[in-house]
């Protein structure tokens, strides 16, 4: 099948203009209708999903992969509920800010507006289809969804259901456009369409994200990995440090805001490390220590240079003992990934320095790295996380899907005197 991606993106662009002008009330009614459609189309979605599951089994995909792919009545209902939760979020569009009056009487302000057209490129999970569509719709953006081949049939069925919700309100279904191919060449072509697409968000493994970043002419918001550090300062409360270590490393080791390295000030290392070793051992965590760590904890595995800067995503933590605060900050600069870094200290001045010196997207004092999350930080919903600094940095809420235009109101002012 030959697909005209330019035509598809043009239609999406044109539909985005209609969407940008809808009232909050209408957008919310559409979201509720889309949730209802998901429920009423449940049978079709489950049938399509069964086809995907069958071919996943035939291809011998891992059971973890297949579980991520699987839809059930309960999971479809959760997708519908997620849309209903988006109804409750504040509309990020049309907010005025930065008011000022110029000496010549001009009133200048900024107003938040949708970005326009957002492409989401993602892998297996079919719930991303409805989540992303809902968040883009609420923020007034048309979305172009390009899902992975494993979930192709499921995604088509979900999009069909969402379109039924849109049609009830006479809204152009191109506001939720599904790319009807998983061909890599087609993705490459899509990534060149910067005249029609304002932003690409890749969601998936590092390979996919690098491929998108390296080939896109459209701006990309991305994060590759989370190498999060816990710095236990000499003025740390040891019990707090242990709690943050346990929560950060063991509560969910496979996610990006889990800890990968602890950095310990030498003046507290002899007290802290033996207790840390006990807690880690109890929970099945392997410590890989630098030489100084090993001089205190002779039983731990010796860390090599690669262990620092690695996202283990498993029950392993690297440990480094530092001479002073500056060495800790330098370590984070060198090995960190701009995701989340934490200091444990009761020293006000050190905490202030850390906040100023470490420019990771989330910098924390005496709090678990696991709080680096849109929901936990009060953004209401999370469309993704950015560890590059342009446009958004850190967990992204709905407002990251908007930009601000200037609004100027005058009474006939001119820049030059008219003769």
Give residues 126-145 in contact with a second copy (rule: CB under 8 A). Answer: none
Binding flag, residue 362, a second copy (CB under 8 A): yes
Residue range at the interface with a second copy (CB under 8 A); choices 70-78, 80-88, 128-136, 357-365: 357-365
Among 44, 127, 182, 219, binds a second copy (CB under 8 A): 219
Tell me the two tokens of residue 206.
């590092």
Minimum CB distance to a second copy smaller for 104 or for 314: 104
Per DSSP, the three-state class of 374 is: coil
Least spacing, CB of residue 40 vs a second copy, in Å = 34
Least spacing, CB of residue 261 vs a second copy, in Å = 18
Least spacing, CB of residue 273 vs a second copy, in Å = 18
Minimum CB distance to a second copy smaller for 37 or for 360: 360
The answer to whether 9 and 190 have CB atoms below 8 angstroms apart is yes
What whole-number distance in Å separates Cα of residue 263 and Cα of residue 319? Answer: 6
Binding flag, residue 17, a second copy (CB under 8 A): yes
Residue range at the interface with a second copy (CB under 8 A); choices 31-39, 176-184, 310-318, 382-390: 382-390
Least spacing, CB of residue 158 vs a second copy, in Å = 28
Binding flag, residue 56, a second copy (CB under 8 A): no
Binding flag, residue 106, a second copy (CB under 8 A): yes
Binding flag, residue 412, a second copy (CB under 8 A): yes
Among 123, 235, 247, 307, binds a second copy (CB under 8 A): 247
What whole-number distance in Å separates Cα of residue 145 and Cα of residue 159? Answer: 9
Binding flag, residue 24, a second copy (CB under 8 A): no
Sign of the Cα torsion 223, 257, 311, 357 reads positive
What whole-number distance in Å separates Cα of residue 390 and Cα of residue 368? Answer: 26
User: Could you give the string, one character per residue 173-202, with x where binding to a second copy holds by CB under 8 A and - elsewhere?
Assistant: ---------------------x---xx---
Under rule CB under 8 A, how many of the chain's residues touch a second copy? 71
| Residue 114 CB-half CA count within 13 A | 26
Distance between alpha carbon 414 and the CA centroid of its chain, in Å? 45
What whole-number distance in Å separates Cα of residue 306 and Cα of residue 260? Answer: 12
Torsional class of 378: left (φ above 0), alpha (ψ -120 to 50), beta (otherwise):
left
Torsional class of 284: left (φ above 0), alpha (ψ -120 to 50), beta (otherwise):
left
The answer to whether 261 and 246 have CB atoms below 8 angstroms apart is no
Among 76, 246, 300, 316, binds a second copy (CB under 8 A): 246
Minimum CB distance to a second copy smaller for 49 or for 141: 141
Least spacing, CB of residue 202 vs a second copy, in Å = 14
What whole-number distance in Å separates Cα of residue 12 and Cα of residue 7? Answer: 9
Binding flag, residue 171, a second copy (CB under 8 A): no
Tell me the two tokens of residue 118.
């957002």
């Amino acid at each position: 099948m030959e697909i005209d991606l330019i035509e598809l993106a043009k239609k999406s662009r044109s539909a985005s203009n209609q969407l940008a002008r809808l009232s909050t009330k209408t957008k919310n009614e559409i979201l509720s209708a889309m949730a209802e459609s998901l429920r009423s189309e449940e049978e079709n979605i489950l049938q399509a999903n069964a086809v995907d599951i069958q071919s996943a089994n035939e291809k011998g995909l891992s059971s973890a992969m297949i579980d991520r792919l699987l839809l059930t009545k309960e999971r479809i209902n959760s997708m519908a509920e997620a849309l209903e939760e988006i109804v409750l979020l504040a509309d990020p569009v049309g907010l005025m800010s930065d008011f000022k009056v110029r000496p010549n009487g001009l009133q200048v302000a900024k107003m938040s507006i949708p970005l326009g057209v957002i492409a989401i490129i993602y892998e297996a999970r079919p719930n991303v289809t409805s989540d992303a569509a809902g968040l883009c719709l609420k923020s007034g953006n048309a979305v172009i969804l390009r899902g992975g081949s494993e979930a192709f049939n499921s995604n088509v069925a979900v999009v069909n259901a969402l379109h039924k919700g849109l049609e009830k309100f006479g809204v152009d279904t191109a506001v939720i456009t599904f790319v009807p191919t998983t061909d890599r060449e087609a993705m490459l072509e899509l990534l060149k369409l910067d005249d029609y697409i304002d932003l690409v968000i890749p969601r998936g493994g590092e390979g996919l994200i690098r491929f998108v970043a390296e080939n896109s002419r459209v701006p990309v918001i991305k994060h590759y990995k989370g190498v999060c550090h816990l710095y236990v300062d000499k003025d740390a409360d040891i019990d707090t440090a242990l709690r943050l270590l346990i929560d950060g490393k063991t509560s969910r080791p496979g996610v990006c805001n889990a800890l990968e390295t602890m950095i310990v000030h030498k003046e507290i290392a002899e007290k802290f490390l033996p207790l840390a070793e006990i807690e880690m051992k109890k929970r099945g965590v392997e410590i890989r220590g630098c030489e100084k760590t090993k001089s205190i904890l002779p039983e731990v595995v010796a860390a090599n240079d690669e262990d620092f800067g690695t996202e283990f995503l498993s029950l392993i933590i690297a440990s480094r003992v530092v001479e002073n605060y500056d060495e800790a900050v330098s370590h984070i600069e060198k090995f960190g990934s701009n995701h989340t870094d934490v200091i444990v200290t009761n020293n006000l001045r050190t905490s202030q320095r850390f906040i100023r010196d470490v420019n990771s997207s989330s910098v924390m004092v005496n709090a678990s790295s696991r709080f680096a999350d849109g929901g936990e930080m009060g953004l209401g919903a999370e469309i993704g996380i950015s560890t590059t600094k342009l446009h958004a940095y850190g967990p992204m809420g709905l407002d990251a899907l908007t930009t601000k235009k200037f609004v100027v109101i005058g009474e006939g002012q001119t820049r030059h005197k008219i003769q």
